[in-house]
Amino acid sequence: MSKKKKVLFECQHCGLTSPKWMGKCTNCGTWDSLVELNEHEQEIVKMTASSSGSAKARAITEIQETEVERFSSDDTELDLVLGGGIVPGSLTLIGGSPGVGKSTLLLKIGSNIAKQGKNTLYVTGEESEGQIKLRANRLQANEEKLFLLSEIRLEQVMLELSQRKYECIIIDSIQTLYSEAITSAPGSVTQVRQITFDLMRIAKERKIAIFIIGHITKEGSIAGPRVLEHMVDTVLYFEGDSSQELRILRGFKNRFGPTSEIGVFEMKAEGLISAKDISSRFFSKDNSQPGSALTVIMEGSRPIVLEVQALVSESYMPNPKRQATGFENNRLNMLLALLERKLEIPLNQYDVFINITGGIKVTETSADLAILAAIISSFRNRAISKETVFIGEVSLVGNVREVFQLDTRLKEIALHKFSKALIPKKPSDNFGIKCYEVNEVTKLIDWM
Ligand SMILES: Nc1ncnc2c1ncn2[C@@H]1O[C@H](COP(=O)(O)OP(=O)(O)O)[C@@H](O)[C@H]1O
Ligand SMILES: [Mg+2]
């Protein structure tokens, strides 16, 4: 009797596997997304699911640590987000919305690396060689060791890798590359997994640093498969879009370093270049308007002074609008509820909009106090002096909590010559700034 052939279905949206076909994926809820995998594809699923290698476990005390080797990308901001430079043999995913500058940045990085004498391959499946050449002229990226391959078949890319020794590869983009061994469409889970798996293997075997460009959807996640994020070593995303002057690259995952730092770039005719003097790029000291307040957030090791803006206007809807750009909506709702309750401001009859200038996303709670101040200022139509900076996290019961690295933040404020700060607790050193202690939100109202 012959052994029964094993069947396996896989959701092309989320990667769920099932021995039975289903009309609707039970994991992500997508309709008609399950396809049957052939034997080769099943093999890949198995290989990527279980960790490879047959090494026997050893006592941790016997194992010697390995130093992570790195080389510079000759771009200070990228080096910073990567945790100190490029790691040979690492796979890095760079995601961002169309036009944000992924191709521009990586072509320049490729040329920087080629300039160091390392063979670098730029694989483009989106643009023609001629288009890339035009961009290279603009970016001054013409280097002898930078090679261009206009190709969408993975097998051809692999063939190229067997012809010449490369130290860095840039794939632009993962959504356009496909493997002929697999029947499903480019960008599907099966394709992306196979391609990433093959790239990962080649990166580790030959110690090649590989950058993969990926498009992201409106919701901000990588278009198509999440499996990609799990498989690669490092994930970096561009925040904001092409309309912003500054483009921010944030680390989400890094097997070789911290993810706390951001990279700040600006789009210029000569490319996407590391922004200079970033701490003063997110606010202006010009005339103050109602609804604007300043704060200092920490992005990794760097303090950044930010302007937060609020617009409070009477609502004609049964459910007033609450919308935040660059700030979490849930947190805004919490702060608004607190204002209503504690300070008896009837915000339930008002629309409230929040905007963080410069396209940065605030992930820290230390901006709470400034958000409250901006809302109150807009509500009362009274401007806050641009000499004042607000720092503090607000709790559900209306206390203002201390924030970490207050000293670093105050030092930064002093550097930019602000004269007043509203903070949760008197600091040990005020760096010449007049500090007001605001440990409860009611005190904020008193002050204002
Ligand atoms: N001649 C130019 N001068 C300055 N900026 C340009 C020029 N041409 C294109 N750009 C900028 O480059 C951006 C496109 O970048 P690109 O790297 O192709 O983005 P992505 O690869 O992320 O889709 C455009 O949004 C535009 O701002
Ligand atoms: Mg591009």
DSSP for 269-326?
Answer: TTEEEEPSSGGGSS---S---TTEEEEEEEETTEEEEEEEEEEEEE--SSS--EEEES
Q: Say if residue 95 is in the same domain as residue 200.
A: yes
Mutate to test the pocket of ligand 1, among 123, 242, 268 (most ligand atoms within 8 A of CB): 242
Tell me which residue range forms the domain holding 263.
76-276
Q: Say if residue 316 is in the same domain as residue 354.
A: yes
**Does the residue 55 lie in any domain?**
no
Percent of the chain with pLDDT over 90: 55
Q: Say if residue 314 is in the same domain as residue 389.
A: yes
Q: Say if residue 268 is in the same domain as residue 193.
A: yes
Residue 96 CA: which ligand 1 atom is closest?
Answer: 22
Q: Say if residue 93 is in the same domain as residue 234.
A: yes
Q: Say if residue 210 is in the same domain as residue 315.
A: no
Nearest CA to ligand 1 atom 27: 242
Measured from the alpha carbon of residue 135, the closest ligand is 1
Please report, for the domain that includes residue 336, its CATH number: 3.30.230.10
Question: Tokens for 434?
Answer: 């007049």
**Does the residue 43 lie in any domain?**
no
At which of 235, 250, 276 does a domain end? 276
Q: Say if residue 285 is in the same domain as residue 270.
A: no
- Mean pLDDT of the 218-246 span: 77
Strand 234-239 and strand 246-254: the pairing is antiparallel
| Distance from residue 10's CA to the centre of ligand 1 (Å) | 37
- Mean pLDDT of the 186-204 span: 88
pTM check: above 0.85: no
Question: What pLDDT does 2 receive?
Answer: 53
Q: Say if residue 285 is in the same domain as residue 266.
A: no
Nearest CA to ligand 1 atom 3: 269
| Distance from residue 106's CA to the centre of ligand 2 (Å) | 9
Q: Say if residue 243 is in the same domain as residue 213.
A: yes
| Distance from residue 218's CA to the centre of ligand 2 (Å) | 16
**Does the residue 42 lie in any domain?**
no
Residue 242 CA: which ligand 1 atom is closest?
Answer: 25
Dump pLDDT digits (tens) for 93-147.
999 888 899 999 999 999 999 999 999 999 999 899 999 999 999 999 999 999 9
Q: Say if residue 269 is in the same domain as residue 396.
A: no
- Is the bond preceding residue 279 a cis peptide, omega within 30 degrees? no
Dump pLDDT digits (tens) for 21-39.
889 888 888 888 888 888 8
Does the pLDDT of residue 49 top 70, yes or no? no
| Distance from residue 310's CA to the centre of ligand 2 (Å) | 34
Count: domains in the chain: 3
CA torsion through residues 17, 20, 23, 27, sign:
negative
Does the pLDDT of residue 55 top 70, yes or no? no
Q: Say if residue 11 is in the same domain as residue 123.
A: no
Helix axis angle for 189-206 and 154-163, nearest 10°, is 10
